[in-house]
Structure 1
Amino acid sequence: MHPRIALITGANSGIGFGIAQHLACRHSDTTPFRIVLACRSKTKAECARDALVSRCFAGREKQGQDVIQILLIDMGSIESVMNACKEFKSRFQYLNYLFCNAGTMNATGANLCNAAYLLFTNPLHLARTGGGGAVLTQRPNATSIDGLGDTFHTNVFGHYIMVRELERLLAIANRTTQVPARVIWVSSLTASSEFLHPDDIQALHHNSKYESSKRLMDVLSMHLSRSWVGKDMYSFITDPGVTMTSIVDGLLPKWMLVFAYYAMRFLGTGATVSAVDGAYAAVHVALTDQPEAFNPNVKYGSWTSPFGSTSVVERKLEKVSPRDEGALLQLEKLRSKLCR
């Protein structure tokens, strides 16, 4: 039986690690997986693999080392992404699941007064938008090794290159395994069309770089869905809900973050808190037997009740506007220019 092959970017921690854990613990003789941890650091990738083997393959460590593999990649470097895709194609003949998860915010600080005010006056707004820029500040003019906006490059552009480079392997997955291929984008509740500008898709000239990148991700996924109709390939958008991940490490004391996240959960925001619960929606969309039943114009989110039960909720996406279409056009022009 051919294994289902899953490639997860940013898999050494956070939501990526949560996705890998869900899949690894589902591995069996009847549903075999090959789980590829795509990480920038070899040391962190190996630590993540060891942790997954320990949790999901106790007494079967050798099998676990074979199931869980490593691919080194820096999503903020065109050369690294291209080389990693080349290596992946030399190691694998098809790809069932591509989880576009790796991301950065480049946050530099937090306004504690605004955070506390929103937590108790409008927790839903805080959970869904991160305060709309009133809480977290993002580093201005941060660029990648290629001179692109760093948040844009890591969150969207590197993944878009990956999708195009691995598209042929996605296209043949269903013929090989009878499991249609899926590209699953880990977006955010903060994504909004107000932050995406076609004349500045890298968000070099405004503060909402993270929110802009996540909206572009949403628009890109909807575009891919339309272009892949009838090709046994699907693109879906998910979000982890309100989750504690390393993306905001160091901005607030750990105890304060824990208090804030659980307070939001008990106030009915659906805060998932843990990365494993945050990964729930992405894994649910990946493993469904009928991907055609899912709506590509909906964002599937992880949601946890005040009592700790996690489920999937549907969040309707904003319609694609002419501005969004213009941003997509600029994205493809940039890829064509830089990836020859």
Structure 2
Amino acid sequence: MRKAVLVTGASSGVGLALCKRLLEEDHELHLCLACRNRSKAEAVREALLASRPLAEVSIVQVDVSDLQSVFRASRELKQRFQRLDYVYLNAGIMPNPQLNIKALFSGLFSRKVIHMFSTAEGLLTQEDQITADGLQEVFETNVFGHFILIQELAPLLCHSDSPSQLIWTSSRNARKSNFCLEDIQHSRGQEPYSSSKYAVDLLSVAVNRNFNSRVWLFHQKPESLNPLTKYLSATTGFGSNYVMTQKMDLDEDTAEKFYQNLLELEKHVRATIQKRNHQS
């Protein structure tokens, strides 16, 4: 039976390179490209199949900065798949920094001018747009949209004999966790088990533009990995790639609080969308 792999943000950049490498590792995968731009995804699909004709490559259109799009894509995926073996939450954005002219001129005539030019502190600003869901675009794209996606895909991810592997790579972090049924039960108000472990995934913010660690994680057993550890790509001076580990700078209490906040936000957003759909 083919392994099924879902990759968000798969039509360009690291996501596209990751798809190519995954097909090199297993050329009979069923690879599902979760992309915002369907025409770009179609072109990528054709190119992937041209090089790996034994693979099965499908597309689901989803914009993780739009929860209506996330819900539609989730329904489509649940109709297509009985299970997903691996999910790479790769899609992410970063706003372009802008020079703050007002801060520049005021800083020129202050005692902090040397500090300002040596650190650029206060000179650059980033404007984060607000989405149709009323959330900051970066937060919804990199974190909350993916959070809702995996909540919706719970039936495809939770299997007592072999849980799916959730690989959170948004914000350029590559690590892997065991996506357990107990985590979903906790999110539905049932007996808690390990929600802190799951929330740690959502707090990962390591900058990592390489994907070697992501491919390495594809071959690891979840029980061998530490949920409080980042798995990062690195290269030796001689050009050899390897995976390094780094302990996350957070505690489980903070992770638990963040997880609870996400659950509260989920309830609020779902109620708002339901009310909006009812009115229309």
| TM-score, length-scaled by structure 2 | 0.74
Bigger CA drift: 158-167 or 278-287? Answer: 278-287
Q: Which residue of 2 aligns with 1:287?
A: 219
Match of 1:108 in 2: 97
Matched, 1:96 2:85: yes
* Cα drift, residue 230 of structure 1: 9.3
**Aligned CA-pair RMSD:** 3.5
1:142 aligns with 2:73: no
Quick one: distance in 1 between partners of 2:2 and 2:32? 12
Report the more deviating stretch, 141-150 or 85-94.
Answer: 141-150
**1:75-224 pair list within 5 angstroms:** 75-109=64-98, 137=124, 139-172=126-159, 175=161, 180-188=163-171
Alpha-carbon contact 1:300-1:315 (below 8 Å) kept: yes
Gap change, CA 1:223 and 1:132, over 3 Å in 2: farther
Provide the residue aligned with 1:195 in structure 2: none
Aligned amino acid, residue 333 of structure 1:
E
Mapped contact 2:157–2:179 kept (Cα < 8 A) = no
What SS does the corresponding residue of 2:34 show, helix, strand or coil? strand
1:300 to 231, 235, 243: 231
8 A contact 1:144–1:150 mirrored in 2: yes
Larger radius of gyration: 2
Q: Name the structure 2 match of 1:196.
A: none
Alpha-carbon separation, structure 1, partners of 2:60 and 2:39: 12
Q: SS of the residue aligned with 1:334?
A: helix
Counterpart CA distance in 1 for 2:163 and 2:120 is 39
Tell me the alpha carbon deviations over residues 52-86 of structure 1, each in whole angstroms, 9 at most, x when there is no partner: 233x32xx3xx44xx11111000000100000000
Deviations for 1:237-258, whole angstroms, at most 9, x for unmatched residues? 5888553xxxxxxxxxxxxxxx
Deviation at 1:24, TM superposition (A): 1.3
Structure 1 counterpart of 2:131, which letter?
A: S
Which of 35, 41, 57 is residue 37 of structure 2 equivalent to?
41
Q: Residue type of the partner of 1:285? A: L
Give 3-state SS (helix, strand or coil) of 2:259's partner.
Answer: helix
Q: Deviations over 1:275-310 (max 9, x none)?
A: xxx11111211222x221111110101112233221
Change (3 A) 1:132 1:298: farther
SS of alignment partner, residue 91 of structure 2: coil
Return the alpha-carbon distance in structure 1 between the equivalents of residues 77 and 182 of structure 2.
26
Match status 1:336 vs 2:270: no
Identity of aligned residues (%): 31
Q: CA deviation at 1:47?
A: 2.0
Kindly tell me: are residues 311 and 230 of structure 1, through their superposed partners in 2, closer, same or farther at Cα, counting changes over 3 Å? Answer: farther
Structure 1 pair 335/239, CA: closer, same or farther in 2 (3 Å)? closer
Give, as a single letter, the amino acid of the residue that structure 2 aligns with 1:101. N
Contact 1:12/1:44 (<8 A) preserved:
yes
Q: In the superposition, relative to structure 1, how do residues 160 and 298 fare at CA in structure 2: closer, same or farther (>3 Å)?
A: same
2:26 equivalent in structure 1:
27
Normalising by structure 1, what TM-score? Answer: 0.62
Counterparts of 1:239 and 1:21, CA distance in 2: 24
**1:226 to partner: Cα distance:** 8.3
Question: In structure 1, what residue type is equivalent to 2:250?
Answer: K
CA contact (8 A) 1:301 1:312 kept: yes
**Structure 1 SS opposite 2:142:** helix
Partner Cα separation in structure 2 for residue 136 and residue 321 of structure 1: 34
Q: Which one has more relative contact order, counting CA pairs under 8 Å at least 6 apart? A: 1
Query: 2:45 is aligned with what amino acid?
Result: R
Number of aligned residues: 241
Query: 1:170 and 1:132 mapped to 2: Cα distance?
Result: 45
How far off is 1:27 after superposition? 2.6
Residue 14 in structure 1 maps to residue 10 in structure 2: no
Whole-Å separation in 1 of the counterparts to 2:261 and 2:183: 17
Q: Which residue of 1 aligns with 2:111?
A: none
Q: Which ranges of structure 1 fall in alignment gaps of 5 or more residues?
A: 112-130, 190-213, 244-277
Task: Say whether the 8 Å CA contact 1:102–1:154 is kept in structure 2.
Answer: yes
Report the alpha carbon displacement of residue 313 of structure 1 after superposing the two structures with TM. Answer: 0.6
What SS is found at the alignment partner of 1:313? strand
Q: CA deviation digits over 1:96-125, x for unaligned, max 9? A: 1111110011123479xxxxxxxxxxxxxx
